[in-house]
Chain A
Amino acid sequence: MKTWPLWIAGTVVLAAVFHILTVFAVPYGIMNRAMAGISTQAGGVNKAVYPAPVTAASRGIVRPSPDLLYTACVYDVGARPLRVTSPVPDTYWSLSMFASNTDNFFVVNDRQAKAARIEIILTTDDTTKGDNGAPVVIAPSSRGIILFRSLITSDEAQPEIDAMRRQSNCEPL
């Protein structure tokens, strides 16, 4: 009896399994690499890093916008919640949070913040209460990335925008 049809069928099925596993694993692998890069620059997790404006030499995160100043921190709320704070400028600004599978599970921009300063508590524990009524965001994964985007409206305005975004911070409660 010829067995080669069975071998081919088995190989195709196994290839399909590897294909699906790769598609599922890629987001986690790339996020892990990004988190490792950011936390190395920041000196650890739950600490913010304030990179210079991106150029062609910036190779950390794909498809960066050269019109924005990015501030990032890797969160790890497995043990303790995290307090995320930032001044809110009157030009485009956003604070976004990404789970370990790349999902953007939270975003707020300058218009939605409706205040000159924002404070958010990030946790995986839905019983956590924020100080002074600070909103609590439940993270779908204990590790991920927090990203602040600040629009560079002009070369002249950049130093002021840069000084303001350097007041953005992440710190364990």
Chain B
Amino acid sequence: MKLILKLLASFVVALVLGVGSALLLLQGGGLGGTISAGAWKTSEIIGSADADPYTRARVAVGGLLALNRSETIYFTAATDDEGATLRTRCSYKIIGTDPPARWWSITAYAADHFLIPNPQDRYSYGGDTVAREDDDSFVILVGPSEAESNWIPTGENDGTFTLTLRLYNPNEETARDPSGIVLPRIAREACTE
């Protein structure tokens, strides 16, 4: 009887540790990846048959039906340029120029990987919709306070969020080596209580 109890306890502890550690590892940070460009991260094997089991599981949890990099490169940012976690109560400026792709977009997602509810129903800006400065650069404001243009609202709830930058049909050089790309900066402006 004592042996059966010990075996049962060992099984339960192992199940909780094994499944829990796997799920914890797969949560957060979108698609993840080891290639960095500022705060943005990506992986060369997203959507690919060469994907390792962890990448495949991370894609399933945080980016199901992601295309392979010949078609689309997905960069995810979970922090600003200083390395601080992105929070919905803070305002950020995303400052940059058009990335080297046929079409691009920047979208904000809540911690649950779905779009952030907001009264404006506005979740992203892209190459077709962003308002540009005189020198063709752009500034996108992400945060809870209303801005005149290029504003992605982060809603009324306090929490973390992530940004996804999609590059559809990236140019050949970028598709071959995404690590050399220069991407928009993410600068924190202010936070509200």
Residue ranges of A at the interface with B (Cβ–Cβ < 8 Å): 7, 10-12, 14-24, 26-27, 29-31, 34, 54-59, 61-67, 92, 94, 96, 98, 101-105, 107, 109, 111, 140, 145, 147, 151, 153-154
Contact = CB atoms under 8 A, between A and B. Distances in A.
A41 B164 CA distance: 27
B28 to A, nearest CB: 12
Contact of B13 (A11, A20, A58): A11
Interface stretch (B91-99, B106-114, B138-146): B106-114
Contact of A102 (B21, B64, B71, B109): B64
A27 B66 contact: no
Interface of B: 6, 10-11, 13-15, 17-19, 21-23, 26, 30, 47-49, 51, 53-54, 56-57, 59-68, 70-71, 102-103, 105, 107, 109, 113-118, 121, 123-124, 126, 128-129, 164, 166, 168-169
B89 to A, nearest CB: 18
Contacts of B113: 62-63
30 contacts: A7-B10, A15-B15, A17-B18, A19-B19, A20-B18, A20-B22, A20-B53, A23-B22, A26-B57, A26-B60, A26-B61, A27-B56, A56-B121, A57-B117, A58-B114, A62-B113, A63-B30, A65-B107, A92-B103, A101-B56, A103-B47, A103-B49, A104-B47, A104-B66, A104-B71, A107-B68, A111-B169, A140-B49, A145-B65, A154-B129
